[in-house]
Structure 1
Amino acid sequence: MALPYGYAKGKIVTTPQLTPTQRPHEVQYHLHFGLSVAGAQWDIAVNVGTTDADDLLKYKLPFDFSHPVLATLQSAAAGSHDLTGQDALPALDFQRSDFLANTGNWRDSGVMDGSNAVEPVATLERLLVRAMQSSFDVYVFGRFYSEGNGLHDVHMNQGSKGEFIHRPGDDSNDHNDIWQDGALLVDLGAPQWALYVAAFDQQWLPTDDLGNPTPDSKPIS
């Protein structure tokens, strides 16, 4: 089954905070901030890096993003939008749509050291602070929290191996899926939009209909 997925449109209301999460073999870092979503404050957790030099992030952060789907997002009401089970834009799939066309090459993140100076943290944090100060509309795609209001998994959500393999009928793990990729967009005022997308080095493409790597898959280049 597909995991609960969609996007929230709102205004940033708290300053982004770099937060570590201890995993078995690494420390993952997120930028957490509050997003006002139809009168409620949501917690947003955006993946920005890891201490694991063998599974770093690849990311894109263009400030000139353009795509026809932006018109759909701009006309959408502020609030949360459930896209679970959809197989077309505005649900996001980096392999099965042209969403990332003309966004340039993937960039390699730095190894996180707990500071805000490592990219993409430094640039993304400045963007989020600017969005908060200017009350820009912010759009966050990811998976909904199972408890409380929030979004996480703001990164590519397919192509992982091991514990993330999607087995039909089993929702006991945070598994791969198609049409569930995460992203963050900021409407900077016509015609300028900024986009942030990320994927881990150990997420491979292409993927099958469950979002799992195919036998001929390779790391994102």
Structure 2
Amino acid sequence: MALPYGFVKAKIVSAPRLKSTRRPHEVQYHLHFGVTVNGAQWDIAVNVGTTDADDLLKYKLAFDFRHNVLASLQSAQAGSTGLTGTDALPAIDFQRSDFLANTGTWRNSNVMDGSDQVEPVASLQRLLLRAQQSSLDVYVFGRFYSEGDGMHDVHMNQGSKGEFIHRAGNDVNDHNDIWQDGALLVDLGEPEWALYVAAFDQQYLPTDDLGNPAPGSQPIS
């Protein structure tokens, strides 16, 4: 079975904080913030960068996001919605849907130095603080924590190589998959929506039906 995937619709109840996670060849950074889901506080971890100059984050931060899927998101109940195994919107696939149409070009993140003044950290932190202070609805797409309440993998979840290659029938780690891409959206008030999406330099498109890089695939440009 695929890893548990879906989205939460909630209000932010604790301000975003930048946290680091040490990996074998890099330090990855996430903005963590709390939301309330069915009376419980959940932790949300959104990828914002890395110290690895060879595998920087690419991102889009759009404040004029438009898409037909927004109507169904607005009408969704607050809380968590499972989308595991769904192969159509509102599940997100950057390659197999038009979700990112008209969202502009991908930007390169800064090399992370542990501060919150680099991009996209600074801009995303301002957006999240605005959402908290104005009690705006926030929608986070990603994978649910395997332990505890929360959501992570708020980035593209396909196209990686090496240890992340998806073997059919093997779902023991955060492998590639289709229709499981992550995103963060904020309803700023009709008709304004903000969108944040991210991917890494060493993720490749197009992908095959398992979410692995297909022959001739290239890094996102």
TM over 0.5: yes
Task: Return the letter of the residue paired with 2:156.
Answer: M
Match of 1:59 in 2: 59
Match of 1:138 in 2: 138
Runs of at least 4 residues off by over 6 Å: none
| Separation in structure 2 between the aligned mates of residue 39 and residue 93 of structure 1, nearest angstrom | 30
Matches within 5 A, 1:97-176: 97-176=97-176
Match of 2:181 in 1: 181
TM-superposed deviation, 1:39: 1.6
Structure 1, unpaired ranges of 5+: none
| Separation in structure 2 between the aligned mates of residue 173 and residue 18 of structure 1, nearest angstrom | 24
Question: Contact conserved, 1:33 with 1:44, CA < 8 A, in 2?
Answer: yes
Match of 1:34 in 2: 34
Structure 2, unpaired ranges of 5+: none
Instruction: Find out whether 1:194 has 2:194 as its counterpart.
Output: yes
| Separation in structure 2 between the aligned mates of residue 141 and residue 173 of structure 1, nearest angstrom | 18
| Separation in structure 2 between the aligned mates of residue 22 and residue 115 of structure 1, nearest angstrom | 16
| Separation in structure 1 between the aligned mates of residue 220 and residue 46 of structure 2, nearest angstrom | 20
TM-superposed deviation, 1:119: 0.2
Match of 1:45 in 2: 45
Task: Return the letter of the residue paired with 1:212.
Answer: N
- TM (normalized to structure 1)? 0.99
Q: Secondary structure at the match of 2:127?
A: helix
TM-superposed deviation, 1:38: 2.3
Q: What is the number of equivalent residue pairs in this alignment?
A: 221
- TM (normalized to structure 2)? 0.99
Q: Kindly provide the CA deviation profile for residues 170-210 of structure 1, in whole angstroms up to 9, marking residues without a partner as x.
A: 11221000000000000000000000000000000000000
Q: Kindly provide the CA deviation profile for residues 97-139 of structure 1, in whole angstroms up to 9, marking residues without a partner as x.
A: 0000000000000000000011000000000000000000000
Q: Secondary structure at the match of 1:130?
A: helix
| Separation in structure 2 between the aligned mates of residue 16 and residue 43 of structure 1, nearest angstrom | 10
Matched-pair identity in %: 81
